[in-house]
Structure 1
Amino acid sequence: MSVSRLFVEADLAAGIEAPLGEAQVHYLRHVMRRPDGAPLLLFNGRDGEWRATLAGRGKKSAVAEVGDCTRVQAAEPDVWLCFAPVKRARIDYIAEKATELGASVLQPVLTRHTAVERVNIERLRANAIEAAEQTERLSVPEVREPVDLARLLGGWPEGRRLLMCDETGGGPPIAEALGGLDAAARAAPWAVVVGPEGGFAQEELGALRRIKDVMAVGLGPRILRADTAALAALACWQALVGDWRQPTPRLHADYRTSRVTV
């Protein structure tokens, strides 16, 4: 039997019972047809990953009886993705793929040319949780409420470096810029910022360039859609600065995990 992997809010420790949400129980019981005693993997972003078994508590409720720890919580790259919201299917795609790529924060940013006014944060978080479950991440990125670009930059954290995707073509190639960083810059917290389909306004570009630790970069000779640019820049950052430079661990060689969609 493949093992269903679930994100839970509860603290995790050996011997406890972790409550499962109604949607999780429905999926396990009625979609995956999991019986009592079925193996699970649980994580909460704080306590690592734990083996567990499914245990019924009535017709519509169940808990996970927690066993032993399979992986301790480990530090992950501290990189935010700041992006202008795009239409529904594509913003869902950004949330899913940015989670797979290891973003620690998903920050929608409202700009002068942003065409989308409403962002469903709960939907983005659900997409991020699903992606974290599937990709064996030990955490789920924080999904923040949309914020105006001026407000975001006005409170920019000291020491957080900003990788700005420069649509004007004024920045060096991204691989050249990131490849030349020293050890201190690589170890710093980072953020990637990408504009909307219509691009940043000139005053917005000026405000971005005034950030102390900004690095404007180009993304090649082709015009990229906003969602493509966001994920391409994040992938380049991971390859040249983040944890893609580390050996790839072999996870769960003794069993297969299955995706849980709720």
Structure 2
Amino acid sequence: MPATPAWPPRSAPRLFVDGPLAEAMVLTIDGPQAHYLSRVMRAGPGDAVILCDDQTGEWAAEVTQANKRDLTLALRSHLRPREQVPDFWLCAALLKKPNFDLVLEKATELGVRRIQPMLTRRGVADKLNDERARTIVTEAAEQCARTALPEVAEPAKLDALLRTWPEGRALFFADETGGDPAAEAFRAHSGPAALLVGPEGGFDPAEREAIRALPQARPIGLGPRILRGETAAIAATALWMAVAGDWHNSLAQQSPLA
């Protein structure tokens, strides 16, 4: 006899919803999410949807009713608890909108816990659309099967960030003038950490001096080439995850449906 197909299937769409979710709960999805499920994914009664609430973890739900404007879903099983992402912050200078959108998306996929946009003297951007940022990180988390949304902080001026920097958190500073090789610096440190990456024009001398004066700051180099702001943020974050983050145990932590 043919094997019974796994349920929920690997192709089931994923959505973040308001929580907390609970066993046997029935909820209604409307608005853009209902349009996505019914019009884009063609979900109908009997189909599976994976739901996350950023609180209790990941749930398998079944569509029980599909109307023109909404869908009713019934939770069937709890698949896994909310994941524990590494205690790693990305402090990235605001960039032009498409470039910073990319940073938000990839930082989420890579497993960053907190994204701190920064205002710097040479930066060309000074505002962040909060709603757009939340949409980007939520869609990225849905795509990569992440169950914990990253915190996206309000943009902060660099000097204010340095004044209030937590005593026990290392600040790896991507300094274009040079520093310890990034992989070696990451490997030598254990505990809470953050990465500081500048804008398109880099940090000015006064900013660089202020950063280096912070006891927790550790200047690092990212190779022999000059990297764009978004490239430096993504590359260094990936390197930290590989050397000091959770990539080494990724198979053990992987979603059963990923």
In the alignment, is residue 224 of structure 1 matched against residue 227 of structure 2?
yes
In the alignment, is residue 50 of structure 1 matched against residue 53 of structure 2?
no
Q: Which whole-Å CA distance do the structure 2 matches of 1:195 and 1:72 have between them?
A: 35
Shift of 1:245: 2.2
Shift of 1:196: 0.5
User: Which position in structure 2 is the counterpart of 1:252?
Assistant: 256
Shift of 1:82: 0.8
Look up the equivalent residue of 1:189 and give its one-letter code: P
Q: Which whole-Å CA distance do the structure 2 matches of 1:53 and 1:65 have between them?
A: 5
1:109-128 to structure 2, matched below 5 A, reads 109-128=118-137
In the alignment, is residue 107 of structure 1 matched against residue 122 of structure 2?
no
Q: Which whole-Å CA distance do the structure 2 matches of 1:76 and 1:161 have between them?
A: 17
Contact 1:12–1:18, Cα closer than 8 Å, also in 2: no
Look up the equivalent residue of 1:221 and give its one-letter code: P
Deviations 1:124-169 (A, max 9, x none): 2111111111111111111122111111111112211111101111
User: Which position in structure 2 is the counterpart of 1:172?
Assistant: 180
1:161-240 to structure 2, matched below 5 A, reads 161-169=170-178, 171-181=179-189, 186=190, 188-240=191-243
CA distance 1:64–1:211, change in 2 (3 Å): farther
Structure 2 unaligned residues grouped into runs of 5+:
1-8
CA distance 1:117–1:180, change in 2 (3 Å): closer
Deviations 1:80-100 (A, max 9, x none): 111111112111111111111
CA distance 1:178–1:5, change in 2 (3 Å): same
User: Which position in structure 1 is the counterpart of 2:5?
Assistant: none
User: Which position in structure 2 is the counterpart of 1:150?
Assistant: 159
Contact 2:45–2:66, Cα closer than 8 Å, also in 1: no
Structure 1 unaligned residues grouped into runs of 5+:
258-262
Look up the equivalent residue of 2:255 and give its one-letter code: L
In the alignment, is residue 94 of structure 1 matched against residue 103 of structure 2?
yes
Look up the equivalent residue of 1:198 and give its one-letter code: G
Which of 31, 40, 63 matches 1:22?
A: 31
User: Which position in structure 2 is the counterpart of 1:33?
Assistant: 42
Q: Which whole-Å CA distance do the structure 2 matches of 1:19 and 1:79 have between them?
A: 35
Shift of 1:57: 7.0
Shift of 1:21: 4.3
User: Which position in structure 1 is the counterpart of 2:6?
Assistant: none
TM-score (norm 2): 0.90
Aligned residues: 248
SS at structure 2 position matched to 1:156:
coil
SS at structure 1 position matched to 2:195:
strand
Look up the equivalent residue of 1:251 and give its one-letter code: S
Structure with bigger RCO (C-alpha 8 Å, 6+ apart): 1
CA distance 1:247–1:226, change in 2 (3 Å): closer
Contact 1:7–1:43, Cα closer than 8 Å, also in 2: yes
Computed over aligned residues only, the root mean square deviation of the Cα atoms, in angstroms, reads: 1.7
Following TM superposition, where does structure 1 have runs of at least 4 consecutive aligned residues deviating by more than 4 angstroms? none
